[in-house]
A = this chain, B = another copy of it.
Amino acid sequence: MPLVTLLDYAGVAVFAATGALAASRKQLDIIGFLFLAAVTGIGGGTLRDVILGVPVFWVSNRAYVPICAVVAVVVFFGAHRVESRYKLLLWLDAVGIAAFSVMGAAKGLAITGSPIIAVVMGMLTATFGGILRDMLAGEPSVLLKPEIYVSAALAGAALYTLGDLAGLPAPVSALIGFAAAFIVRGGALRFG
Contacts and interface: CB of A to CB of B under 8 A. Distances in A.
A51 B53 contact: no
Interface stretch (A59-67, A74-82, A84-92, A170-178): A59-67
Interface string A117-153: 1001001000000010001101000010011001100
Given A38-B120, A66-B116, A117-B65, A147 B32 contact: yes
A166 B136 CA distance: 35
Contact of A117 (B59, B120, B146): B59
A162 interface: no
Nearest to A68: B120
A28 interface: yes
Contact of A50 (B31, B51, B135): B51
A52 interface: yes
Interface centre among A28, A31, A32 (most CB of B within 10 A): A31
A178 B58 CA distance: 26
Contacts of A66: 116
A146 B65 contact: no
7 A-B pairs with least C-beta separation: A32-B147, A31-B147, A35-B150, A31-B151, A29-B147, A31-B150, A51-B56
Interface of A: 28-29, 31-32, 34-35, 38, 46, 50-53, 55-56, 58-59, 62, 65-66, 112, 114, 116-117, 120, 123, 131, 135-136, 138, 143, 146-147, 150-151, 154
Given A31-B154, A52-B56, A62-B114, 14 more contacts: A28-B146, A31-B147, A32-B146, A32-B147, A34-B150, A38-B120, A50-B50, A50-B51, A53-B59, A59-B114, A65-B116, A65-B117, A135-B135, A138-B143
